[in-house]
Structure 1
Amino acid sequence: MNKIKIIMMTVVLGMLGFVNNVGAEEVGYSVNTVPSALQQNKKLSFFDLKAKPQQTFDLKVKIENKSTEVSTFKVAATNAMTSNNGTITYGPTTRKLDQSMKVPFTSIAKVKHPKVTVPANTVKTVSMQVTMPKFEFDGMILGGFYVEKLTTEDKKTSGYSNQYAYAKGVVIKETDTVVQPDLEMPVVGIKTDNNMVNVAGTLRNASMTNIANLDMTASITKRNSDKVIVSKKVTGYSVAPTTNFDALFQYDKQKLPAGKYTFHVHANQTTGKQYKWNLQKDFVITADEVKPKESRGLAVVGQRNVLLYVLLGVVAALLVIIIFLLWFFLFYKRRKAKKDENQG
């Protein structure tokens, strides 16, 4: 069965991400924050906190099971990440953290009960403990209080089932110092995923603050040329602190044959204080790295087959030699025995 997971995020609309609301009746349960003593803006439905170094505190949410059956929920702390389509995500992920993320939320938050059972038509409070790092920092740590209903139900008619989850945003600051966002492009190169070849410019927000409403134009030129080969423009991107995402161009052999190129990015933040970035990085496309995975696989298989055939040939030759030597030895032995018999 294929599952579609829909995460309902409660975060700052337009500043920290995107709010996706689905009725609790449709989902069968709801998740609401319990106000924290560290909450700065009490009107917000997510955690907007100001803490101190080494401070320890609990964050709590209430899970209301609106169904008529006992339900089990997965509870976890998650790190805010940035997707390649410019949204901040708060769900569990296997993505590698960016090297600029010195204090992931998951490193300071610990869920007390990773699995929680809630009886039908009942509300249960669950919590996670947060222990702030020893040093003081400017900017923010951004993460999520993630709750997902565990289910094995199938939608047999379509083969799909919607799996809803809630992620309550957690913003933690220690100072009021304004941090300037820092957009970098450390890597450009070919990335292959599911046999789809893309030219990827990896963009990193290396600062401990978010970038809101980022408008961006990306383009590729031949190295030392101003003529644009391919370009794309996106608007309204949100970028989480100390995370990265890829600006992607689907590879086109006709437009981008093997050679030397430059990846250009012109970006500006259009909300709040205006920030602009003009980034560029040289890169090389080689004929080998843009081959489809199947071709590479066939090449490897072909090489393995050649080695296998050579090995089988050597083994066969050795067997022939051994059989010949054995036959020669037996023939010689019989001939000698017959000769000795005649002489006797």
Structure 2
Amino acid sequence: MRRHLVLVLITLLIQLVFPGIVVFADENHGADYSVHPILPDNQREGRSFFDLRVEPGTKQTLQIQINNFSDQEQTYFINVNTAQTNGNIVIDYGQNELPEESIVQQPICTLVDYPKEAVIPGNKAGVVTLEVQAPDTSFDGILLGGIQVKKDFSAEKEESNQPFFSEYAYVVGLMMSANDKEVVPDLKLNEVRSEVITNNAGVVAVLENPQPINIKGVTVEATVHSKGQEEPIMTRKIENGGIAPESVFAMPIYHGEAGNTKPLESGDYQLLVEAQDETGQKWLLTKDFTITKEQANSVNHEVFTVENNTNSLLYIIIGALAAVLLVGGFYVYRRGKKFRRR
């Protein structure tokens, strides 16, 4: 009983402090469904996701199996998404729409026909069929995406009546290639601009991998200097990241620590980006930029005005509640130990 209470307190604490977290679970850890690919004959060896060698203009049927471990009939939503890169330099398979600045020549999501949902009876498995159309002409590199399956959580969410409700989804990777021609990845720095980053002040570096190949195990370090000064005023380093093929993405660089940033100042600056992938390929990118008074004032007003400071108050309240929960859990634990001794 005491262990169960502590687990409940920990779960509640996580949901209070990190409400945006999406939990990826499996049947061994309480998830009531799972998803598995049924691999075809043209599957490349040693892969647990769909890694297909295709001939131009050909069609192919793919299948995934959804296992419903619950006693109730469940509805599952299905999406095929083209791989993109997020601001944390992670390949993202969960975005349903391509951004306006997308440079993907052949989005994999446009090559797959599939049902948008599947209904599976309780304690049963169901098979979903997807029809894949390879591009009409041969292509170099890879087409990369993912098949996302997510249960309809609406009834559980309404029944829970909680302000924070964790949902999870499964993604089965989908990759297509037509040949073994080597494609060398590249990295470009397109733009730097001041921006409000989830209620933080900073700048974003807009980076691009124009090649139809992903960049693996990449370390990216970005520093912002006042023009003519050696000491950086903003820094960010990301290690062991991944960059999707033909993707454009914005990497945030905070002016200070995330959650405790400092106001921006107008002036002339230079951004330096150093990157290296797992093969040892390196990039050194620089760009001069200016933050005008209007731009600095706009960001500072949005981040540091009284209205936004209410968010800080909310975090303080959440922190206090978290402390109360921890103290309460410790108190219950100690009382349980004393009771057992008696």
TM range (shorter): 0.7 to 0.9
Structure 1 runs not aligned, ≥5 long: 9-20, 297-344
Structure 1 residue 186, shift from structure 2 partner: 0.6
Q: 1:232 to 1:293 in 2, by over 3 A?
A: closer
3-state DSSP of counterpart to 1:133: coil
Alignment of 1:74-85 (within 5 A): 74-85=77-88
TM score, norm. by length of structure 1: 0.74
**Separation in 2, partners of 1:179, 1:7:** 35
**Separation in 2, partners of 1:58, 1:5:** 34
**2:176 alignment partner, one of 168, 172, 178:** 172
2:43–2:52 contact (8 Å) kept in structure 1:
yes
Aligned to 1:34: 38
3-state DSSP of counterpart to 1:161: coil
> For residues 196-255 of structure 1, what are the alpha-carbon distances to aligned partners after superposition, in whole Å with 9 as ceiling and x for unaligned?
332111111111111111112211123355443332322111111111332322247978
TM score, norm. by length of structure 2: 0.75
Structure 1 residue 266, shift from structure 2 partner: 0.8
3-state DSSP of counterpart to 2:295: coil
**1:102 alignment partner, one of 94, 102, 105:** 105
More strand by share: 1
Structure 1 residue 69, shift from structure 2 partner: 0.1
Structure 1 residue 127, shift from structure 2 partner: 1.7
Q: 1:294 to 1:224 in 2, by over 3 A?
A: closer
Amino acid at match of 2:76: F
Aligned to 1:140: 142
Amino acid at match of 1:149: K
**Separation in 2, partners of 1:211, 1:105:** 18
Amino acid at match of 1:65: N
Aligned to 1:219: 223
Residue 246 of structure 2 is aligned to residue 238 of structure 1: no
Structure 1 residue 117, shift from structure 2 partner: 0.6
> For residues 107-133 of structure 1, what are the alpha-carbon distances to aligned partners after superposition, in whole Å with 9 as ceiling and x for unaligned?
11121x211110011111102211122
Percent of paired sites with the same residue: 25
Q: 1:148 to 1:195 in 2, by over 3 A?
A: same
Aligned to 2:268: 260
Structure index of larger Rg: 1
**Separation in 1, partners of 2:39, 2:49:** 9
3-state DSSP of counterpart to 2:105: coil
Aligned to 1:309: none
2:76–2:117 contact (8 Å) kept in structure 1:
yes
**Separation in 2, partners of 1:80, 1:7:** 20
Aligned to 2:318: none
Amino acid at match of 1:151: F
Aligned to 1:338: none
Aligned to 1:117: 119
3-state DSSP of counterpart to 1:288: helix
3-state DSSP of counterpart to 2:30: helix
Amino acid at match of 1:288: E
Aligned to 2:93: 90
Residue 186 of structure 2 is aligned to residue 182 of structure 1: yes
> For residues 11-70 of structure 1, what are the alpha-carbon distances to aligned partners after superposition, in whole Å with 9 as ceiling and x for unaligned?
xxxxxxxxxx533561111111011122011x4221011101111112210111111000
Q: 1:254 to 1:81 in 2, by over 3 A?
A: closer
Structure 1 residue 158, shift from structure 2 partner: 4.7
Q: 1:227 to 1:295 in 2, by over 3 A?
A: closer
- CA RMSD in angstroms, aligned pairs only: 2.7
1:229–1:255 contact (8 Å) kept in structure 2:
no
Aligned to 1:128: 130
Residue 60 of structure 2 is aligned to residue 60 of structure 1: no
Q: 1:185 to 1:148 in 2, by over 3 A?
A: same
More helix by share: 2
**Separation in 2, partners of 1:95, 1:77:** 12
3-state DSSP of counterpart to 1:160: coil
Aligned to 2:294: 288
Aligned to 1:44: 47
Residue 9 of structure 2 is aligned to residue 6 of structure 1: no
Q: 1:279 to 1:294 in 2, by over 3 A?
A: closer
Structure 1 residue 192, shift from structure 2 partner: 2.5
Q: 1:58 to 1:206 in 2, by over 3 A?
A: same
Does 85-94 or 129-138 show the bigger shift?
85-94
2:197–2:252 contact (8 Å) kept in structure 1:
no
Amino acid at match of 1:122: K
